[in-house]
Amino acid sequence: MNWSGENTLRYSRNLLVEELGEEGQERLFRSAVLVVGAGGLGSPALLYLAAAGVGRIGVIDGDRLEVTNLNRQVIHSAAAIGRWKAESAADTLRAFRPDLAVDVYPMMLTAENAPALFRKYDAVVDASDNFPTKYLCNDAAVVTGRPLVHAGVLRFGGQLLTIVPGMGPCLRCLISEIPPRKDSPGCAEAGIVGAAAGIVGAWQAMEAITLLAGIAPRPSGSLLTIDALTGEVSRLSVARDPACPACGNSPRISDPLPPAEYRQDPYCRA
Ligand SMILES: [Zn+2]
């Protein structure tokens, strides 16, 4: 990365932040992040990762943009309805930051493609909208040793857990199996206020930025719960489970195929 001219100005406010400084900024320039999902969480996460100066960003999403997405998926314009979300998001990112390297994957994340894909990046942001994909991200992160910023949103808030394989718990340490569909309503049933996804997705970007810049102050392993209606934010310590099916003695990817009932949820693309 060239420090002269425009870039020095572009990142000047980052450089003033003592904890980040030139060293942290250099690390961000050299880092690569994969964002799984270009929806409600992915929109702010992608934009703030690009704004921070991350050198390379991969965006994977196997859906096309629908009009019901637009209350929260602010990286897309109305003119992009019908386009692959991964491509529409990449166009916005390139316009925002012409020097950014963007890898575009207009496809679903699967147990087959996840490990090779994760290995191409320093960290992964799980901005997906369904539990099978979230558990697949978790397992693939553990298998490949890549830090993962997991999150989910609904209605007015969401939850976030940063997973650093080998250094703390994973998602399956918290809940070992994918919750049944009937116990996990999506936004098509429960709804979502777009700003809630904005808050949680921006927080995911912040977690990834502090990890990649080497300034993350907290040990991983606490579940953050944000309720934007009441204004309450809480942290719950999660212990690593020695018998965990993902990060226990033999890390592996479980339940590779999403249960059929999760596949048809056309309006929930958080
Ligand atoms: Zn685990």
The separation between CA 236 and the C-alpha centre of its own chain, rounded to angstroms, equals: 20
CA 166 to ligand 1 centroid distance, Å: 9
CA 188 to ligand 1 centroid distance, Å: 29
Residue 135 has a pLDDT of 94
* 48 closest CA partner among 198, 148, 215, 216: 198
Residue 189 has a pLDDT of 74
On the CB side of 200, how many CA atoms lie within 13 Å of its CA?
38
Residue 181 has a pLDDT of 72
Domain spanning 20-259 has what CATH number? 3.40.50.720
CA 149 to ligand 1 centroid distance, Å: 14
CA 252 to ligand 1 centroid distance, Å: 11
CA 172 to ligand 1 centroid distance, Å: 5
CA 241 to ligand 1 centroid distance, Å: 6
Give CA–CA dist 61/59, Å, rounded. Answer: 7
- Residue ranges per structural domain of the chain: 20-259
CA 197 to ligand 1 centroid distance, Å: 25
CA 105 to ligand 1 centroid distance, Å: 28
Q: Which helix (H) or strand (E) holds 158?
A: strand 157-163
Residue 170 has a pLDDT of 96
* 238 closest CA partner among 249, 223, 224, 218: 223
pLDDT digit string (tens) for 27-72?
999 999 999 999 999 999 999 999 999 999 999 999 999 999 999 9
Neighbour-count burial for 2-18, b at 16+ CB within 10 Å, e otherwise: eeeeeeeeebeebeeee
Q: Which residues of the chain have pLDDT under 70?
A: 1-5, 182, 219, 255-270
CA 190 to ligand 1 centroid distance, Å: 28
Q: Is residue 246 within 8 Å of residue 59, measured between CB atoms? A: no
